[in-house]
């Protein structure tokens, strides 16, 4: 080690200045991340969707949020959400339409987060992609921005839009970020 370097460091310590690396950047308090592939969404339709719009379609949505980590709530690692609704004027083309929804996640601790989000849908080859953006409107993580992405096979939706089949359910995998 050179004499100059030793004197320089000694001088800094004498002035009360410590030379330490900057801390690694961390997410803001309240953030939650559920890793890609650990979040899923299963949707069922009764009756199955066809190219012909139908009223009174029972839609059941089961969301699972796993593989989650949070700085401000390290005890929260898993959550679920179930929604049941009746849809009117529903067809397989409805699955390709941008829309919005609101749902509540019940976390493994019993705490809840209500999410209001908008989403877009695209088909890229054999994959359907749902991209969600929104906000946590109530409960734990209130005020956080929501980013969710879900993907799955598009073959049933594509066949349905061509009049070659129906969609009774679909399964998607993805991720969740609250920031």
Residue 6 reports pLDDT greater than 80: no
In a domain, 20, yes or no: no
In a domain, 45, yes or no: yes
Residue 21 reports pLDDT greater than 60: no
Residue 31: predicted pLDDT: 87
d(CA 143, CA 172): 26
In a domain, 122, yes or no: yes
pTM: 0.81
In a domain, 159, yes or no: yes
In a domain, 58, yes or no: yes
Q: Given pLDDT bands bounded at 50, 70 and 90, which one contains residue 164?
A: very high
> What average pLDDT does the segment 103-128 reach?
97
Percent of the chain's residues with pLDDT above 70: 83
Residue 11 reports pLDDT greater than 60: no
Residue 2: predicted pLDDT: 42
d(CA 100, CA 92): 17
In a domain, 95, yes or no: yes
Per-residue pLDDT reduced to its tens digit, 54-113: 999 999 999 999 999 999 999 999 999 999 999 999 999 999 999 999 999 999 999 999
Residue 174: predicted pLDDT: 97
> What average pLDDT does the segment 123-151 reach?
97
Cα–Cα distance list, 162 to 22, 38, 47, 101 (Å)? 57, 32, 18, 27
d(CA 80, CA 65): 6
In a domain, 6, yes or no: no
- Sign of the Cα torsion 67, 128, 91, 132 reads positive
In a domain, 119, yes or no: yes
Percent of the chain's residues with pLDDT above 90: 82
Q: Which residues constitute the domain of residue 152?
A: 26-178
Q: Given pLDDT bands bounded at 50, 70 and 90, which one contains residue 156?
A: very high
Domain count, the chain: 1
The DSSP call for residue 76 is -
């Amino acid at each position: 080690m050179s004499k100059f370097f030793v004197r320089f460091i000694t001088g800094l310590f004498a002035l009360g200045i410590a030379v330490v690396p900057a801390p690694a950047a961390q997410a803001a308090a309240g953030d939650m991340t559920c890793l890609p592939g650990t979040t899923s969404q299963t949707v069922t339709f009764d009756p199955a969707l066809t190219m012909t719009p139908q009223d009174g379609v029972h839609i059941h949505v089961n969301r699972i949020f796993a593989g989650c980590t949070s700085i401000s709530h390290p005890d929260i690692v898993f959550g679920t959400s179930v929604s049941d609704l009746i849809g009117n004027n529903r067809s397989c083309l409805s699955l390709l339409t941008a829309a919005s929804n609101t749902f509540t996640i019940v976390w493994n601790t019993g705490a809840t987060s209500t999410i209001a989000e908008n989403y877009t849908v695209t088909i890229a080859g054999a994959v359907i992609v749902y991209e969600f953006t929104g906000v946590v409107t109530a409960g734990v993580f209130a005020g956080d921005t929501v980013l969710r992405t879900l993907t799955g096979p598009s073959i049933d939706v594509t066949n349905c839009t061509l009049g070659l089949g129906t969609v009774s359910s679909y399964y998607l995998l993805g991720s969740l970020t609250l920031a």
